[in-house]
């Protein structure tokens, strides 16, 4: 019995959950609804985008032989900065940027140059498989919360 999924299987799951998230945000809902204590549904998308763009930048940097520059600060600071950074950005632009970040990930994640991907300064790095799993679970958890809030 095979216990580990292949990187292609994990990548497909990650791509599918990103698509599901984009569908959620393309439904014309009122995204100002509060999901977490201080975060609206729109803020959740900004938070996810902040992490996704960092992931895309880091894999691209590795493939292009540049030193990756992962997010800095405590988890709380990184999360709050991501929300604040995109507070005034329209949903459509956030979604488009998420599509672009996913495209960069898709184009680079299977490159053999990538052995470990930095997560954030002060944290351990992850293999491509691990990083994709983390991203998948992260987005899935937020999407579950979003769907519950809008039932």
Give the 3-state secondary structure of residue 126: strand
Nearest in space to 86 (alpha carbons), one of 41, 145, 118: 41
Identify the CATH class of 15-149: mainly alpha
DSSP character at residue 6: P
Q: What digits encode the pLDDT tens for the residues 4-35?
A: 688 999 999 999 999 999 999 998 999 999 99
- The model's pTM is 0.94
Cα 32 to Cα 38, 52, 74, 80, 88: the distances in Å are 11, 21, 26, 17, 12
Q: What digits encode the pLDDT tens for the residues 70-124?
A: 999 999 999 999 999 999 999 999 999 999 999 999 999 999 999 999 999 989 9
């Amino acid at each position: 019995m095979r216990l580990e999924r292949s990187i292609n299987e994990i990548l497909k799951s990650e791509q599918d959950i990103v698509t599901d998230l984009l569908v959620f945000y393309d439904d014309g809902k009122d995204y100002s609804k509060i999901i977490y204590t201080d975060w609206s549904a729109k803020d959740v998308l900004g938070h996810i985008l902040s992490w996704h763009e960092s992931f895309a930048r880091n894999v691209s940097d590795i493939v292009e032989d540049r030193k990756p520059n992962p997010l800095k600060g405590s988890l709380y600071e990184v999360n709050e900065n991501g929300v604040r950074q995109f507070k005034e950005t329209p949903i459509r632009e956030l979604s488009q940027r998420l599509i672009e970040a996913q495209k960069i990930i898709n184009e680079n994640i299977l490159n053999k140059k990538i052995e470990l991907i930095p997560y954030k300064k002060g944290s351990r790095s992850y293999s491509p498989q691990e990083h994709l799993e983390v991203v998948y679970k992260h987005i899935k958890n937020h999407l579950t919360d979003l769907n519950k809030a809008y039932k």
